[in-house]
Every structure is written in structure tokens, then in C-alpha cells.
Structure 1
Amino acid sequence: MTTPHTDEHADRPLIPTRQLGATGITAPAVGIGCWAIGGPDSNLGMPMGWSTGDDDARSLSGLEAAWQHGARLYDTADVYGHGRSERLVGRLVAQVPRHEIVLGSKVGYFAGTAEHGFEPRHMRRQLEQSLDNLRTDHLDIYAFHHPNFGVDDRWLHPALEAMRTFRDEGLINAIGMRGPHRFALDRLSTGPDQRGDKVARFRALFDIVQPDILAIRDNLLTPASRSEGVFSFADEHNVGVLISKPLGQGLLTGTYRSDVQRVFGDGDHRLRKRWFQPDAIQIINAGLDRVRALIGPRSEDLIRVALWGCLNRSPNAVVLVGFTTPDQVQMNISSLGRRPDAAEIAAARDIMAEVQTRLDAAGETVLTTPTPSSLAE
């Protein structure tokens, strides 16, 4: 990659800059989610990677393309490919000025031989490994990856003390946590009527952790009732927001076809997600056709309204867009283009809210895989 940190790319899209709450961290509003480039993998006895992200040379080219197109925030986790994603991002870090790149990683979903993923000594070992993988001496954002701190929250206060110590030592700048989120095993092993109120759980943890950054899932399929409150909450507390899954892991780009059964390899989380089955894709694509009639026929038009629909949620938010190929990176960033007006975004959300309702209704009768999708949670 030649002089990737220069601003000589006159044809690259102008990405608005966002400040992440009170952290002082600023970044272009489109960041890069680096889960998929961890490749196929499993954790907690289930597939949790991406079988289509198994080409390291292609992944590195995508990271470099993102930089060249103006992306500066890169979000990963220790469990994404069990270090593979972090090491790839580290290869980019070695090529660019460290002060120009915003690096975030997460801890907790991989426990290794520790008693729990949030056992403090394990957290320190994982942080040190993440720093080595990312070729840096500090992280801008380090986040609790899930809200399960053991029986009776045994590890909550020790883990929080560890995080604050890392910050005091200059190893991290900002502490992050998830918005309303269920631990992966809870979604698999506990019935919907027995899972408890995840919003109440989030509020209780927020009061204790007092994070600098929230990671919130949001896209056009997310019901307003599930998201608007948490964005307002973040703004009220001047907390930065990283929005994940803005394109529904590709389902909102119109590139999935209902007449073709997509084949996912071992270690791909989509194997257990019902929304990636042909019957669900048919329902989603019917909604996308209605959105296209309003905003334009191309995938770029769908991506534009999807990204701006998320960016409009909060002035303190950056969207994280994942990828497995450099072409996806270029399309996602270049599609940002003209900001849709509020009416276009509202209409697209209304249409896809109907799609969400149809997907929920079809979940027990039409769709065939056993576990629910988490794209809208």
C-alpha cells in the first residue's frame, strides 16, 4: 500500500466526522467491523465465524482499501478468529500513523482455560495478546463483549476494576460495553419467556460500569421500540456509540437471492441463523423491492439509506460496516453519497418494520433453522 495516510485521493467520498461522546475520540462516521475477516471459527460449542472470510490476502487488501477510502476506526475482538482478525488489522496498523487510526477490541467471549472470560488475570493476558496482535501499545476502545459476569455477577466488579486499571495504566483510553444484548448461550438454551428483561439488565450494568462507549445493533429491520430509547439514553449521558450490523450482515444490500441456497462452510455463524434461509430471504427481498421503488434500483441505493438510517440515530454514532472483499469495502463507503431526507429513511424503516413482523410470524412455521436470528436485537 502506497502512502495510505495521505489525503491525496480526490475521488474518495467525503465522510462526515463524528465525536464519540465525551471521550474526545473523533473518527469518520463509517468505521470498519472486522468480525468477518476472522474467518471460519467456533466458540462455546457453536459456529461463530465467517467461512467466506478465509483469504488473508484479500482481507488485508480490504483493510487497506478502507483506509484509502477514508475509514479510520477499526473494531475487532479477541474471539474473532481467535486472534486472526486482530493480527490482520495489526498488519494495517504497521503501515499507517498510529495517531490517525482508532483501534477497538473486545474481551469476554473467549475464556480459554480461565474460569470465566472476565476473570481479571485472564483479561490482562488477553489485552496483552491483543496489543501484540494489533502491533500497538494501547487501544482506543476496549469493551466488555457481553453482559454475563457469572453467577450472581461474581466477576462484574473485579472485571470493572481491571478495566479501570488498564485505563489508568494507559493501555486503553475508553471503556465500552454492549447495549441491550443477550449472551449467546442464553439465546440458545433459554426460552424467550424465561430470558428476563435485557433492557433492564443493560440499565443496571450501565449504572455500575459507567462506560464511555456503547455498542448498539441497529439497521432498517430493527423495530423502533428496540432502539430509539437506547440512542436517546446514550445521548443523554454523552456516551459514544458504535452501531453494528447496519447492513444486516449483507441481507439489506439485496445481494442474497431466495432462489439460490447459499452454502456456508463449517464455522460460519450463518448456519444457525434462520434469516439466511431462502424463505426468509424471499420475505426480506420483497421488502427491499418496495424500498428500491422509493430510493433507486441499485445496491448502492439500499446501502446509502441503510447507513444513513443508522447515522441519523445519534450525532455521537459511528457505523461499523463489515466486509470479506475489497469490492464490498469500496461499495459500502462510496455508497454513502447524498444524505437521504428524513421522509425517505422513515419510509424505508416502515417498510422493513413490516418485513420484520412477517419474519417473526414466519419463524415457527416457514423458516427451518432452529435458532433465532439476532440481527435486529
Structure 2
Amino acid sequence: MTRTTGTGLAPRTLAGGLRVHPVGIGCWAIGGPGTNLGLPMGWSTASDTASLRGLDAAFELGANLFDTADVYGHGHSERLIGRFLKGVPREQVVLSTKVGYFTGTAEHAYHTGHMRRQLETSLENLGTDRLDIYFLHNADFGPDDRYLAGAIETMRTFQREGLIRAVGMRGPHRYATERVRVPKAERADKHSRFRQLFAAIEPQYLAVRYNALTPAPGPGQVDIFDFAAAHGVSILVNKPLCQGLLTGKHSSGRPPQYGEGDHRLRKAWFTPGALEIIQAGLEPLRERFGASERALVRMALRYCLQRAPHVAVLAGFTTPEQVRQNLTCLGTPLTDEDLAVIRDAGARIQQALDASGEVFLDEKDARR
């Protein structure tokens, strides 16, 4: 497979010496539809044929970071990546997957034996003998964190055995809720909880949800990018395009239609009221950067990439055309004035959503 280097971005060296294209490939959507913990958690718009073509296109354009999880299609995403990997040199690819949301028949997703079996299954699905990054996918370690010490030691054992190179965990973000029952006080202070777990786990990578609609840190909250830099940790940014909401793709006025097993069925983000607010709020950005989807994608990805040098963004896809656009649209860096305009527009959208009650929150999760 012939690779090109025409994306206009130099590789970045992240924690543990991993050298990656700054735009990585998020592979949640290609897992297809599915349910987990009694909730729809997949994507109904994926096609295996298009997914494989997209993975090939990404590699051809220089992308080398591919991020998935055992729960994405209950292994289907991993298996598709495994098919793709048969045609490319393993040493040219950085692989990241996760454990923690798929319990199977185990007592808990972080039970030591279950973690071992899940890692073995992920390696088999991916067709590889090692992972570059293995993430603890969520912060639920059971009542009184009874599984935390075992999970940490299991990760360390995997590293000693050469099965994984780096350990990751997810960072806090304003609209996140656990998909399990956790004490109310714990839910109320995600940042304190995060710092507690970070000190115990000592990860090399953080998975952070961040985009132009992410609120600035509140009073007493540390900026997660500054925190990571201070601790020598790298960040993989999730949802830089806010699952397409920042690209103007829902500007037709018609609410999108999703099939069974699609997580967007339960997200307030995709209700007609929220879509109307977001689309109206994007107008200042269209005026400054251009009204095309390509222009808005460039704006959204650049906004995240310029946040810090120890960052790579994970852009999801369901078509090879989206992959090509994400990797070729980046152009020149945003100016300080550009960044200020984006922050202002994002804040105005946040305020309008909060005022309307159409917040970026999984309402069903919040009630659990």
C-alpha cells in the first residue's frame, strides 16, 4: 500500500516515545449498532465495506494511530481493524484499545481474570501480539473501589509481559456521567475523583473529550492540558468534531434518523431543539471560516490540535470520504484571533443550550 505525506502536519512524539500523525482514527462508529448496560451504545450508520475502505484511506494518507475498544460493537470494531492490519506493517501502526465497559459474564469489568481474558480477545481480534496503549475505559472500580488495586496491578503485569506499552485512563469532562451507579457526592466532583485515580493509576495517556463546545475550566478546576503537561502525560482528544455537530451536517432542519442500537437515540445533543441551537450558533464560524463542511472540519480539528503539543485528536468516521476530508483539510494554523472567535461562539452555544435545558448530557445515564 502506497502512503502519502500530503496532510500538511508533522508527526508528534507522545508519551513512551510513540510517534503518531496528529490526527488519529477513532474507530467507535465502525463497530456498528449495539447495546450495553441496557442502553444503545453503537452507530447504526456504519458499513463494513466503507469502514475497511476508510481504514485503508487513512493509512494511505499517513495516519497511523487507530483507537478502538472491546465494547465497540462487542469486538466488531477490533476485528475490522484486524482485517485492515493484515495488509500493513504492524510496526508502522500505533494501536489503542480499552477495557472496562464490557462485562460479559464476569462479576465486574475490572475483575483481574476478566481483564486478562479481554486483553487476549482484543489481541486476537486485532491480529497482533501487543498493544501500544491500553486504556481503563471508565472510572467504576466497584463498591469502595474494590477492583482498583487489582486492575492497576494487572495493567503493570501486562506491561512487564510486553503485551502493552502504555497505560491510559479517561479524564474528566463536564457532561460525563458514569453508566453505572456511583455515589452522588462522587458524581458531583469528577475532578477530585479524577485526581485520586490518576495518582493511583499513574497513566501515560489520558482520553479527554474536548472540542469547540467544551466549557472552560470552572473555579478551582485545573486545566486538563496543563495538568497533563505538568505530569508528562499525553492526551488523546475524543469527539473533536462533536460527533458531526460542529461540521454543519445537520443544517437541513430535519432531525437525523437513526436505527436501533444507535447511541444518538438517547442523546439530548441530537434532539430537534438542540440541533437548532447549535446550527444557529455556528453562523459566526461559517462567516469567518467558510460555510462548507470541509471548512468547519478544519476549524474544529485545528482548534483541538493547537491546544497543546502533547495531543493527538481522534476523528471518527463511517465513510472513506470523511477520512480523506479529515486528513487533507487542515491547511494553515488558526490565528489567535481565530481561536478567540471559536471560544466565543462555543460559549454562546453552551449558554443557549443551558438556558433551553437541552444540555449535553445523557439523560438516561444521569438517572441511573
**Both proteins in one fold, TM over 0.5:** yes
Residues 1:293 and 2:293 aligned together = no
Structure 2, unmatched stretches of 5+, are: none
The residue that corresponds to 1:213 in the other structure is 205
Which amino acid is the alignment partner of residue 30 of structure 2?
A: I
Corresponding residue number in structure 2 for 1:234: 228
Can you list the C-alpha shifts for 1:44-82, whole angstroms capped at 9, x where unaligned?
A: 0000000001x1111101111111111100000000000
Whole-angstrom distance in 2 between the partners of 1:73 and 1:324: 17
1:151 to 133, 143, 147: 143
Q: In the aligned structure 2, how far is the partner of 1:215 from the partner of 1:264?
A: 26
Alignment counterpart, residue 61 of structure 2, candidates 49, 64, 69: 69
The count of residues paired between Structure 1 and Structure 2 equals 362
Deviations 1:190-239 (A, max 9, x none): 79887220010000000000001111110000011169711100001110
Summarize the alignment of residues 1-377 of structure 1 with structure 2, pairs less than 5 Å apart. 3=1, 6-7=2-3, 9=4, 12-21=6-15, 23-53=16-46, 55-180=47-172, 182=176, 184-186=178-180, 195-225=187-217, 229-257=223-251, 259-363=253-357, 370-371=363-364
Distance 1:214 1:369, change over 3 A: closer
Post-superposition Cα deviations, 1:324-374, rounded to whole Å, max 9, x if no partner, equal: 01111111111111111121022112111110111122126x99995489x
Deviations 1:157-187 (A, max 9, x none): 001000000000000000000001555325x
Query: Is the contact between residue 108 and residue 144 of structure 1 (CA under 8 Å) also seen in structure 2?
Result: yes
- Judged with a 3 Å threshold, the aligned counterparts in structure 2 of structure 1 residues 341 and 150 are, in CA distance, closer, same or farther, namely same
Tell me: CA distance 1:35–1:257, structure 2 relative to 1, closer, same or farther (3 Å): same
Kindly state the Cα deviation for residue 259 of structure 1 after the two structures are TM-superposed: 1.8
Counterpart AA for 1:259: G
Shift of 1:17: 1.3
Counterpart CA distance in 2 for 1:256 and 1:184 is: 28
Kindly indicate whether the alpha-carbon contact (under 8 Å) linking 1:119 and 1:159 is maintained by their aligned counterparts in 2: yes
The code of the aligned residue for 2:88 comes to V
Q: Conserved in 2, the CA contact under 8 Å of 1:258 and 1:281?
A: no
Question: Letter of the aligned partner of 1:289 in structure 2?
Answer: E
Shift in Å at residue 19 of structure 1?
1.6
Distance 1:115 1:368 in 2: 28
Residue 276 of structure 1, CA deviation:
0.6
Q: Which moved more, 1:214-223 or 1:309-318?
A: 309-318
- 1:18 Cα shift? 1.3
Conservation of the 8 A alpha-carbon contact between 2:112 and 2:154: yes
User: Aligned partner of 1:35: which letter?
Assistant: W
Secondary structure in 2 matching 1:308: helix
TM-score (norm 2): 0.94
Is the 1:274–1:372 Cα contact (8 Å) retained in structure 2? no
**8 Å CA contact retained: 1:277, 1:368:** no
- Please give the alpha-carbon distance, in whole angstroms, between the structure 1 residues aligned to 2:289 and 2:204: 36
Which SS does the other structure have where 1:185 is aligned? coil
**Amino acid in the other structure paired with 2:23:** V
CA distances 1:239-285 after superposition (whole Å, capped 9, x unpaired): 01100000000000000135212111110000010111121111111
The CA distance in 2 between the partners of 1:321 and 1:191, in whole Å, is 33
Q: What is the percent sequence identity of the aligned residues?
A: 52
Stretches of structure 1 that go unaligned for 5 or more consecutive residues are none
TM-score (normalised: structure 1): 0.91
Q: Deviations over 1:295-322 (max 9, x none)?
A: 2222111111111111122111000000
In the alignment, is the contact (CA less than 8 A) between 1:179 and 1:215 conserved in 2?
yes
CA distance, structure 2, for counterparts of residue 17 and residue 228 of structure 1: 28
Distance 2:201 2:65 in 1: 23
Note closer, same or farther for the CA distance 1:194–1:203 as it changes in structure 2 (3 Å cut). closer
